[in-house]
Amino acid sequence: MDEPKEPEPKHIDTNDSIEKEKEPLNPSEIDASVYSFKKKAMYFFKGDQYYKCVDGDLANSFNEYPKSIEGNWDVPIEWARSNVDAALYSAHWDAIYLFKGD
C-alpha cells in the first residue's frame, strides 16, 4: 500500500488576502499587537483600525479587515480615533487590555 504524501508547504502572500482599496498591514507600522489564547487569535492595532488573524491563517483572516477600533472595542472614544500604544492579554480574566499614553 502506498504511503500518503505530506502536503507541500504553501506560501501565503498576505497582500493577496487584502482587497486593493484596503490599506495593507505593514509590520513596521503596527502600533501594538496581542495574542488571545482562548480565541486563538492575534490582534494587530494600527492607527484607528485593527486586524485579527485566527489560528495563523492570514489569507482568510484578513478578508474582513481592517476594522475600526471605535464601536468594536470598549475604549474611550479618543483612543478609538488614534493609535493604541500597547495591548495585554489576561488569561485569568480572558480579557484584552489596551493602553494609551504615559
pLDDT digits (tens, 9 = 90+) for 30-54: 999 999 988 889 999 998 999 998 8
**Cα(90)–Cα(102) distance, integer angstroms:** 20
Which stretches of the chain drop beneath a pLDDT of 70? 1-24, 59, 102
CATH of 16-99 given 2.110.10.10, 2.40.10.10, 3.40.50.300, 2.60.40.1930: 2.110.10.10
**Cα(48)–Cα(13) distance, integer angstroms:** 24
For 26-64, give one letter per residue: b (16+ CB within 10 A) or e: eeeeebbbbebeeeebbbbbbbbbbbbbeeeebeebbee
Question: Would you state the pLDDT for residue 36?
Answer: 92
**Cα(53)–Cα(27) distance, integer angstroms:** 14
Largest CA distance in the chain: 65
Asked whether the beta carbons of 45 and 38 are under 8 A apart, the reply is no
Segment holding 79, helix H or strand E: helix 77-80
